[in-house]
A and B are shown apart, each in its own frame.
Chain A
């Protein structure tokens, strides 16, 4: 079937079978590999993207479910190659190691701050609970999110 949607602002039409997930469509049909396949079961958050402004695990959404929707991956966040302020914080504060969790982590953190679910350190930690990271121990990521929320670049 053909799925029409916008991807980081540009219109897309992907021919994919209905049983493909959004993640698979992004990676294997649309050539966007910045959403990562970490588990395929909705647990790790590496595949997180925005669909109509709401963060979802793209491994747990079927491709046809985004017909007509606006899909945004981490690559769509910064304007004109500039880093999004959260991305700047993540880099400056050492929130990135192997980087495999990072795209999903950034999506989740941006949403958490946007909807006001990052008020305290504890809230940030709960908002990121579905984004597993095996490298950093989370502290520097939590610090980056708090700094972004407070708008005080390092």
Chain B
């Protein structure tokens, strides 16, 4: 019904935040937007001893640096969704962000929180994986950066260790001639994905697929790339026949678990459908961009 008591700290700097987290007696956690943590505490699914509010640290903002887009951990889902500027750089993220929860969850939820929370159904996890890049993590020993593909370790587990903070995400921007596609199947408008797929498809001079990235959410213990499907795309035209094959490839490649509401078979089926739709959309956009 309500969160149980905890200690609360609102430090002014990243350094102080890390110090507070490392010094926690018992379980210390960062709180950013609180859109996963507070409901979980209310449901009795989390009861930290210390919360370190990172919501006012200077970790917002986006900056383009060459082939990467640096996004502060406090970038809100709503900014990804609605900022035209970000939408131009990472339209895949803008597309995906629309599917996250409801408008108020998006108003407060943050990119850093979403990635750190590491719900396997998270849209932004799949988006980050499709782009590739690095996650920058601050700890008492300074900063380190982890490749996004090595970031997710399992259900709600990431490379962020206790006492550490995710400070920013560096997304690789795809080359010109790339189109994006995002597709999701869920049980209700504001519900978590049954399965979702994020795709980036790059077209070469001959109008064939030069490279494809396909990342899936909701079908395992973490967001995952599907390299078998990506390989099938290379050098090809993504026509209906191939999209059908890609769908079946994904269904075979994933091994989701069942829960009380959705069977493993249906999740896999949904992933295949989303993959084909996302790749198809990315392909069409890439071709439009070529023209």
Residue contact B42 to A59, C-beta cutoff 8 Å? yes
Task: Please indicate the chain A residues that have their CB under 8 angstroms from the CB of B5 in the complex.
Answer: 17-19
Asked if A129 lies at the interface with its beta carbon under 8 angstroms from chain B, I say: yes
Residue contact B53 to A42, C-beta cutoff 8 Å? no
B 94-125 contacts with A by CB, 8 A: 101-105, 107-108
Task: Please indicate the chain A residues that have their CB under 8 angstroms from the CB of B10 in the complex.
Answer: 64, 67
Task: Please indicate the chain B residues that have their CB under 8 angstroms from the CB of A42 in the complex.
Answer: 35, 38-39, 101-102, 104-105
Binds B, one of A4-12, A50-58, A92-100, A145-153: A50-58
Task: Please indicate the chain A residues that have their CB under 8 angstroms from the CB of B101 in the complex.
Answer: 42, 130
Interface string of B32-58 (1 = CB under 8 A from A): 001100110111000000010101000
Residues of A within 8 A of B (CB): 1, 17-21, 24, 40-43, 45, 48, 54-57, 59-62, 64-65, 67, 108, 111-112, 115, 117, 126-127, 129-131
Nearest A residue (CB) for B107 = A54
The 8 Å CB contact of B34, one of A20, A54, A61, A129, is A61
Given A48-B104, A57-B104, A40-B2 contact (CB < 8 Å): yes
Nearest B residue (CB) for A107 = B104
How far is it, in angstroms, between the C-alpha of A112 and the C-alpha of B103 when the chains are bound? 9
Asked if B143 lies at the interface with its beta carbon under 8 angstroms from chain A, I say: no
Residues of B within 8 A of A (CB): 1-8, 10, 31, 34-35, 38-39, 41-43, 51, 53, 55, 82, 101-105, 107-108, 189-190
Residue contact A45 to B3, C-beta cutoff 8 Å? no
Distance (whole angstroms) from the CB of A112 to the closest CB of chain B? 7
The 8 Å CB contact of B4, one of A19, A59, A60, A64, is A19
Nearest A residue (CB) for B42 = A40
Task: Please indicate the chain B residues that have their CB under 8 angstroms from the CB of A129 in the complex.
Answer: 102-103, 189-190
Residue contact A55 to B107, C-beta cutoff 8 Å? yes
Task: Please indicate the chain B residues that have their CB under 8 angstroms from the CB of A41 in the complex.
Answer: 39, 42-43
The 8 Å CB contact of A111, one of B8, B34, B103, is B103
Given A56-B108, A57-B104, A130-B105, A62-B82 contact (CB < 8 Å): no
How far is it, in angstroms, between the C-alpha of A48 and the C-alpha of B3 when the chains are bound? 18
How far is it, in angstroms, between the C-alpha of A41 and the C-alpha of B38 when the chains are bound? 8
* Besides A20-B2, A45-B102, A65-B53, 14 new A-B residue pairs in contact (Cβ under 8 A), listed by A number: A19-B2, A19-B3, A45-B104, A48-B104, A57-B104, A60-B38, A61-B108, A65-B31, A108-B104, A112-B103, A117-B103, A126-B189, A129-B189, A130-B102
Task: Please indicate the chain B residues that have their CB under 8 angstroms from the CB of A54 in the complex.
Answer: 107-108
Q: Offer 17 A-B interface pairs, CB within 8 angstroms, sorted by A.
A: A1-B8, A17-B5, A18-B7, A43-B190, A54-B107, A56-B107, A57-B105, A60-B38, A61-B34, A65-B53, A108-B103, A111-B103, A117-B103, A129-B102, A129-B103, A130-B103, A130-B105
Task: Please indicate the chain A residues that have their CB under 8 angstroms from the CB of B8 in the complex.
Answer: 1, 18-19, 62, 64
Q: Which 9 residue pairs are nearest across A and B when measured between Cβ atoms?
A: A130-B102, A18-B8, A129-B189, A41-B39, A60-B38, A19-B3, A40-B42, A42-B39, A57-B104
